[in-house]
Chains A and B, each alone.
Chain A
Amino acid sequence: MRRLAEILAPVLLLAVLLGGWEIACRALAVPAYFLPPPSKVAQSLAQDTPSLLKAAWYTLSNALVALVIASLLAQALALAVALSRILERAVQPLTVVLQVTPVIAIAPLVNIWAGTDHPGRAVVALAVVVAFFPIYSGALAGLKAVDPDLSRLFDLYDARPLQRLFRLQVPSAVPFVLQGHKVAAGLAIVGAVVAEFVAGSGKVQGLAWRIMDASFKLQTARMFAALVVLGVMGAVLYALLDVAERAGLRWWRGR
Chain B
Amino acid sequence: MTIASIREVEVDYAGRGKALGPFSLAVREGEIVSLVGPSGCGKSTALRLLAGLEAPTGGEALRRPAPGEAAVVFQAPTLAPWLSARANAALPLELAGTPRRPAREKADAALARVGLAGAENARPGQLSGGMAMRVSLARALTTEPRLLLLDEPFAALDEITRRALADDVLALWAQSRPAIVFVTHNVEEAVYMASRVVVMTRGPGRIAGETPVAGPIPRQPGFRTSEAFRQTVELVSGLLAQGMAA
A252/B95 contact (C-beta < 8 A), A153-B72, A156-B71, A156-B72 known: no
Q: Give the contacts of B58-103 with A (CB-CB under 8 A).
A: 67-68, 70-72, 74, 76, 78, 80-84, 91-92, 94-96
Partner of A156, one of B51, B82, B84, B122: B51
Task: Check A158 for interface membership: any CB of B closer than 8 A.
Answer: yes
A156/B80 contact (C-beta < 8 A), A163-B95, A255-B123, A255-B126 known: no
Task: Check A167 for interface membership: any CB of B closer than 8 A.
Answer: yes
Task: List B contacts of A167 (CB < 8 A).
Answer: 91, 94-95
B82, A253: Cβ atoms under 8 Å?
Answer: yes
A149, A156, A253, most chain B CB atoms within 10 A: A156
How many interface residues does B have (CB within 8 Å)?
28
Partner of A252, one of B52, B71, B82, B91: B82
A152/B80 contact (C-beta < 8 A), A158-B67, A167-B95 known: no
Task: Check A254 for interface membership: any CB of B closer than 8 A.
Answer: yes
**What mask results when residues 110 to 141 of chain B are scored 1 for a CB within 8 Å of chain A, else 0?**
00000000000011111000000000000000
Task: Check A150 for interface membership: any CB of B closer than 8 A.
Answer: yes
B84, A254: Cβ atoms under 8 Å?
Answer: yes
Task: List A contacts of B126 (CB < 8 A).
Answer: 254-255
- Cβ of A166 to closest chain B Cβ, rounded Å: 11
Q: Give the contacts of B3-60 with A (CB-CB under 8 A).
A: 48, 51-53
A152, B95: Cβ atoms under 8 Å?
Answer: no
- Cβ of A149 to closest chain B Cβ, rounded Å: 4
- Cβ of B11 to closest chain A Cβ, rounded Å: 15
Task: List A contacts of B94 (CB < 8 A).
Answer: 167
B123, A149: Cβ atoms under 8 Å?
Answer: no
Q: Give the contacts of A138-162 with B (CB-CB under 8 A).
A: 147, 149-150, 152-159
| A: contact size bracket | 20 to 34
A153/B78 contact (C-beta < 8 A), A167-B95, A254-B123, A255-B126 known: yes
Task: List A contacts of B95 (CB < 8 A).
Answer: 154, 157-159, 163, 167
Task: Check A174 for interface membership: any CB of B closer than 8 A.
Answer: yes
A149, B76: Cβ atoms under 8 Å?
Answer: yes
- Cβ of A248 to closest chain B Cβ, rounded Å: 11
CA gap between A71 and B52 in the complex, in Å: 39
B92, A157: Cβ atoms under 8 Å?
Answer: yes
Task: Check A171 for interface membership: any CB of B closer than 8 A.
Answer: yes
Task: List B contacts of A157 (CB < 8 A).
Answer: 67-68, 91-92, 95-96, 143
Task: List B contacts of A168 (CB < 8 A).
Answer: 80
A255, B78: Cβ atoms under 8 Å?
Answer: no
CA gap between A158 and B71 in the complex, in Å: 12
A158/B81 contact (C-beta < 8 A), A149-B76, A153-B72, A255-B126 known: no
- Cβ of A165 to closest chain B Cβ, rounded Å: 13
- Cβ of A161 to closest chain B Cβ, rounded Å: 12
B125, A255: Cβ atoms under 8 Å?
Answer: yes
A152/B72 contact (C-beta < 8 A), A147-B78, A158-B67, A254-B84 known: yes
Task: List B contacts of A174 (CB < 8 A).
Answer: 82
**What mask results when residues 160 to 188 of chain A are scored 1 for a CB within 8 Å of chain B, else 0?**
00010001100100100000000000000
CA gap between A155 and B122 in the complex, in Å: 26
CA gap between A154 and B139 in the complex, in Å: 12
- Cβ of B129 to closest chain A Cβ, rounded Å: 15
- Cβ of A169 to closest chain B Cβ, rounded Å: 11
Task: List B contacts of A252 (CB < 8 A).
Answer: 81-82
CA gap between A205 and B47 in the complex, in Å: 66
Task: List B contacts of A149 (CB < 8 A).
Answer: 74, 76, 78
Task: List B contacts of A159 (CB < 8 A).
Answer: 95
Please report B residues at the A interface, Cβ cutoff 8 Å.
Answer: 48, 51-53, 67-68, 70-72, 74, 76, 78, 80-84, 91-92, 94-96, 122-126, 143
- A sample of 8 more A-B contacts (CB under 8 A), given A157-B68, A254-B122, is A149-B74, A152-B74, A154-B95, A157-B67, A157-B91, A167-B94, A254-B123, A254-B126
Please report A residues at the B interface, Cβ cutoff 8 Å.
Answer: 147, 149-150, 152-159, 163, 167-168, 171, 174, 252-255
Please, could you name 15 A-B residue pairs with CB atoms under 8 Å apart, sorted by A? A153-B91, A153-B92, A155-B53, A156-B51, A156-B72, A158-B95, A159-B95, A167-B91, A167-B95, A171-B80, A171-B82, A174-B82, A253-B82, A254-B124, A255-B123
Task: Report, nearest first, the 9 A-B pairs whose CB atoms are least far apart.
Answer: A254-B123, A149-B78, A158-B67, A157-B95, A149-B74, A171-B82, A253-B125, A157-B92, A159-B95
